[in-house]
Amino acid sequence: MNRHATHVLLLAITLSTSVLAQEMPAPTLAVGDRWVYRESDLLTKNETGSLTETVTAADAAEYWIAAHRVAATWWRGDSVKRVHREQFAYDAGAADKRGRIIASNDAGCAYPWPLKVGTKFECAENVVLPNG
């Protein structure tokens, strides 16, 4: 191996090691942030739908996300733990178009921020759906 190749290899090893050591801080949600997810059937590999989420309100205590799949819903989340707490039905006639609660979450599975490569954690989570 020539001297140049050795330096390139050492540089690559150094860079990859420093990237792995980085931490990922908790995300900061801002009004207008938007994500689009594609849903696929794992057996057929066919796309079966999509989900769009848009942050509509965010402060130090909570955030609101409008979620649009087949039907529109709203999520109210905990800004400190970065987890969705309640899901509301979309209701055009309700205040802020947020209708009845259709799911609630005890937020037991919040990520342990900051995330680090190789970090492992366990959690328990309870979600209550309308049918109990």
Other beta carbons less than 10 A from residue 112's beta carbon: 11
Antiparallel, parallel or unpaired: β 34-40 and 47-58 = antiparallel
Strand partners, 124: none
37-91 per-position pLDDT tens digit: 888 888 888 888 888 999 999 999 999 999 988 889 999 998 887 888 888 999 9
Other beta carbons less than 10 A from residue 103's beta carbon: 16
